Amino acid sequence: MTTTSARTTHPDTSAPRVTGRQPSEQAIDAAIDSASRLLRLPTMRDRYAEIAEAAGREQLSYRAFLAELLLAECDDRNARRAVRRVHEAGFPRTKTLDDFDFNANTAINPATINTLAGCGWISKGQSLCLIGDSGTGKSHLLIGLGTAAAHQGHRVRYVLAAKLVNELVEANDERQLSRTIARYGRVDLLCIDELGYMELDRRGAELLFQVLTEREEQNAVAIASNDSFSGWTKTFTDPRLCAAIVDRLTFGGNIIETGTSSYRLAHARAQRSGGAKTDRHPGARSG
């Protein structure tokens, strides 16, 4: 009895070979397209002809042309990663620091914001507190700085304070608290918005305190609050716990007071009175 062994065949994923001393332009294009797809180099596939023509005009060497091609791929890959990090941060809307009108809120120092945009405080695991009334630009700055951090390679997560506390309470009930706290602890910058808008019971406050403790001096946290630290006793009803949370957020951190003059209110009054309209604002649509 003769047996034959089964042979497993695999699809050929290799790029077509360019043979001969001078292949046709069609063969070259096919080889580059196939190899770029195989190596997952979309920018190289899309732009090699453009960069090759520019290299010819500028009489670049082969090595210089290759460097230009690889750098274009790296630049586009970094840009795609930045877009992905911004998306994963969970920002509710697009806000950048370039859109912030410092002339509309003179309480905020542009030099200070520009320094924070450098993200040195994030690398050091420091905190940032944006304190001011509603409509003064806190949320815009919080999202803008978070977006800048994401573009610079940091992992960022944005969450409303009430939503975070509710998630922690549910995780605790389902015996998933450690996993949830660890997930928030892994991001480089945790942005907590609208802290102080609602009163937290002792359980919720303690769970939030655990998140802040997990990140202390390791990963940065930024918060936006419409109440001064002295008024946080309305949010954290336990005085000792309130003091501990304030201490966690202010020790070695950055504090920016955005003032009490609401841009939104002034803008609405100007519109009602027939004043000049403007689309630029200090990013205060939600805080």
- The CATH classification number of 91-272 equals 3.40.50.300
- Contact by Cβ (8 Å): 263, 136: yes
Residues sharing a CB contact under 8 Å with residue 196, sequence separation 6 or more, in sequence order: 161, 225, 226, 227, 231, 232, 234, 235
Q: For residue 222, which of 151, 119, 135 has the smallest C-alpha distance?
A: 119
Q: Where are the beta strands (DSSP E) in 154-201?
A: 156-160, 189-195
* DSSP-assigned letter for residue 157: E
Residues sharing a CB contact under 8 Å with residue 286, sequence separation 6 or more, in sequence order: 92, 93, 139, 193, 194
pLDDT tens for residues 32-83?
A: 888 888 888 888 888 888 888 888 898 888 888 888 888 988 888 888 999 9
Other C-beta atoms closer than 10 Å to the C-beta of 119 total: 20
**What is the share, in percent, of the chain residues with pLDDT greater than 70?**
83
Q: Is the pLDDT of residue 85 over 70?
A: yes
Mean pLDDT of 256-276: 66
pLDDT grade for 285, boundaries at 50, 70 and 90: very low
pLDDT tens for residues 9-37?
A: 444 555 555 555 677 888 888 888 888 88
pTM over 0.85: no
Name the residue ranges covered by the structural domains of the chain: 25-87, 91-272
